Amino acid sequence: MSGASVQAIPSEIPTPPSKLSAKEKKVWTHVTTALHECGLVHLTDAMALTVICRTFVRWVEAEEALDQLTHENGGTYIVATPNGYEQPHQLFFVVRSLKKELLQWLPEAALTIPSFAKAIETRQAPVQGTLFEDPVEAHRRRKTALGIRAV
């Protein structure tokens, strides 16, 4: 198959698949523009980017509400229940959950430094193997380079 070339997928900013709030639209525009400039966004990324934008905005709003509560509560988010037990306010758990979800989604759109670097590396032209290369070992090296655990 000499002369075969790898075609690059064109970078296109997708249309959000659902209605976004004003804050979510600002995040959407910022993220999609930055990814488009690097050639890392495609029309099929719309759903994942919607989840990321919504989760980010909700996380920021929850952090702000927790900061406000902490300020009003004497510098702590620990509150007393009606039975007298002390525990973190529910906003603490909302913030923690949203942050965890966001950190799981960010690599899916190359929005962390390691995932961005990996996405840029994989865009480079594939390297031609040699006739004497061990195919099993070459496969293991490719998996390791992509961050996939070798078995």
User: How high is the pLDDT of residue 150?
Assistant: 52
- Minimal CA–CA distance to 108: which of 59, 54, 149, 47? 47
Instruction: Kindly report, residue by residue over 86-107, the tens digit of the pLDDT.
Output: 999 999 999 999 999 999 999 9
> Residues 31, 52: contact at Cβ < 8 Å?
yes
Query: Considering the chain, what percentage of its residues have pLDDT values greater than 90?
Result: 66
Instruction: Kindly report, residue by residue over 38-78, the tens digit of the pLDDT.
Output: 989 999 999 999 999 999 999 999 999 999 999 999 999 99
> Residues 91, 150: contact at Cβ < 8 Å?
no
Average pLDDT value for residue range 9-18 = 89
> Residues 111, 52: contact at Cβ < 8 Å?
yes
Higher per-residue pLDDT: 131 or 61: 61
User: How high is the pLDDT of residue 122?
Assistant: 79
User: How high is the pLDDT of residue 129?
Assistant: 64
Q: How many CA atoms lie within 13 A of 64 on its CB side?
A: 6
User: How high is the pLDDT of residue 36?
Assistant: 94
- What angle is formed at CA 48 by the lines to CA 126 and CA 116, rounded to 5 degrees? 40
User: How high is the pLDDT of residue 1?
Assistant: 39
